[in-house]
Amino acid sequence: MTRYRYLVLALLLATSYLASGQITTTSAQPPPTSDEKQPVLFGTNVNLEGSSVSKGSETGLAVYQEDKDAKKKKKKRGEFAIAPIPLVNPSIGNGGGLAVVYAVHLDSDETSPPSTFAAGGFYTEAGSWAGALGAKLYLGRDRFRITVGGGGGEFNYNFFGVGSSAGATGASIPLSQHSHGFLIEPKMRFWRNWYAGPRYHIISSTVGLNSSTLDPGNLPIPLPTDVKLRTAAFGGRLQRDSTDNPFYPRGGSIFDLLGDLYGSAVGGNRTYQNVTVDYNKYFSVGPKNVFAIHGSACLATNMAPFYDVCLLGLASDLRGYQIGQFRDNRMLVGQAEYRRDLFWRLGTVAFAGAGAVAHTWADFGDTDAEPGGGFGLRFVLAKRNHINLRADYAWGNNSKASYISLGEAF
- Answer whether residue 33 is part of any domain: yes
Please report which confidence band the pLDDT of residue 61 belongs to, taking 50, 70 and 90 as the band edges: very low
Residue 270 has pLDDT above 50, yes or no: yes
Percent of the chain with pLDDT over 70: 79
Q: What is the CATH number of the domain that holds 307?
A: 2.40.160.50
Residue 6 inside a domain? The answer is no
pLDDT at 323: 77
5 assigned to some structural domain: no
What is the phi-psi region of residue 310: left when phi exceeds 0, alpha when psi lies from -120 to 50, beta otherwise?
beta
Q: Among positive and negative, which fits the CA dihedral 298, 302, 308, 309?
A: positive
- Do the beta carbons of residue 184 and residue 197 sit within 8 Å? no
Mean pLDDT confidence for 393-408: 84
At residue 23, does pLDDT exceed 80? Answer: no
- pLDDT tens digit string along 215-228? 888 888 888 888 89
* Residue with the larger pLDDT of the pair 177 and 72: 177
pLDDT at site 402 = 81
Strand-pairing partners, residue 153, are: 130, 179
DSSP 228-271: EEEEEEEEEEEEEE--S-SSS--SEEEEEEEEEEESGGGT-S--
Contacts of 35 (CB under 8 A, 6+ apart): none
Q: Which domain holds residue 118?
A: 12-406
pLDDT score of 258 more than 90: yes
The answer on pLDDT for 93 being more than 80 is no
Residue 45 clears pLDDT 90, i.e. is over it = no
Can you tell me the mean pLDDT for 18-24?
A: 38
Return the DSSP state at 115: E
Which is more confidently placed, 68 or 235?
235
Residue 384 has pLDDT above 80, yes or no: yes
Q: Is 60 exceeded by the pLDDT of residue 54?
A: no
Strand partners, 363: none
Residue 2 within a domain: no
- Alpha carbon of residue 9 to chain centroid: 9
**Does residue 7 form part of some domain?**
no
Average pLDDT over every residue of 381-394: 88
Split at pLDDT 50, 70, 90, the class of 55 is very low
pLDDT of amino acid 161: 83
Residue 163, phi-psi category: left (phi > 0), alpha (psi -120 to 50), beta (remainder)? left
Give the 3-state secondary structure of residue 216: coil
- Higher per-residue confidence, 182 vs 405: 182
The confidence score (pLDDT) of residue 197 equals: 98
Give yes or no for residue 111 having a pLDDT over 70.
yes
Long-range own/partner contacts, residues 279-288 (CB < 8 A, 24 or more apart): 279/253, 279/254, 279/255, 280/51, 280/52, 280/243, 280/249, 280/253, 280/254, 280/410, 281/253, 282/243, 282/249, 282/250, 282/251, 282/252, 282/253, 283/251, 284/250, 284/251, 287/341, 288/340, 288/341, 288/342
Per residue in 344-367, pLDDT (tens digit) is: 999 999 999 999 999 999 999 888
pLDDT at 293: 97
Q: Comparing 104 with 87, which gets the higher pLDDT?
A: 104
Q: Give residue 399's pLDDT.
A: 82
- Write out the H or E segment, with its range, that includes residue 11: none
pLDDT value at 25 more than 60? no
pLDDT at 135 exceeding the cut of 90 = yes
CB 173, CB 209: distance < 8 Å: yes
pLDDT the model gives residue 178: 94
Reported as a single tens digit per residue, the pLDDT across 242-256 is 998 888 999 999 999
Q: Looking at the predicted structure, is the pLDDT value of residue 267 above 90? A: yes
The answer as to whether 218 is a domain residue is yes
In the structure, how many helices (H) and strands (E) does the chain have? Answer: 4, 19
Q: Are 293 and 370 in contact (CB under 8 A)?
A: no
The whole-number pLDDT of residue 360 equals 92
Q: What is the DSSP string of 268-321?
A: -S--EEEEEEEEEEEEEETTTEEEEEEEEEEEE-TT--GGGSEEET-TTT--SS
Quick: pLDDT tens for 290-345: 999 999 999 999 999 998 999 888 878 888 887 788 899 999 999 999 999 999 99
Q: Which one has a higher pLDDT value, 111 or 203?
A: 203
| Separation CA 22–CA 62 (nearest Å) | 27
pLDDT at 147 over 50: yes
Judge contact between 14 and 132, C-beta under 8 A: yes
* Cβ pair 113, 103 in contact under 8 A: no
- Structural domains counted in the chain: 1
Per-residue pLDDT, averaged over 151-171, amounts to: 84
Does residue 263 fall inside a structural domain?
yes
Residue 65's pLDDT is: 44
- Distance CA(374)–CA(401), nearest Å, equals 9
Instruction: Flag whether 3 is in a domain.
Output: no
Query: How far, in Å, CA of 407 to CA of 58, rounded?
Result: 21
pLDDT of residue 113: 86
Question: Can you give the pLDDT at residue 1?
Answer: 43
The CA radius of gyration of the chain, in Å to the nearest whole number, is 20
pLDDT for the residue 2: 39
* Per-residue pLDDT, 193: 94
Mean pLDDT value across the chain: 81
Q: Cα separation of 409 and 24, whole Å?
A: 9
How far is residue 309's CA from residue 394's CA, in Å, rounded to a whole number?
24
Residue 28 confidence (pLDDT) above 60? no
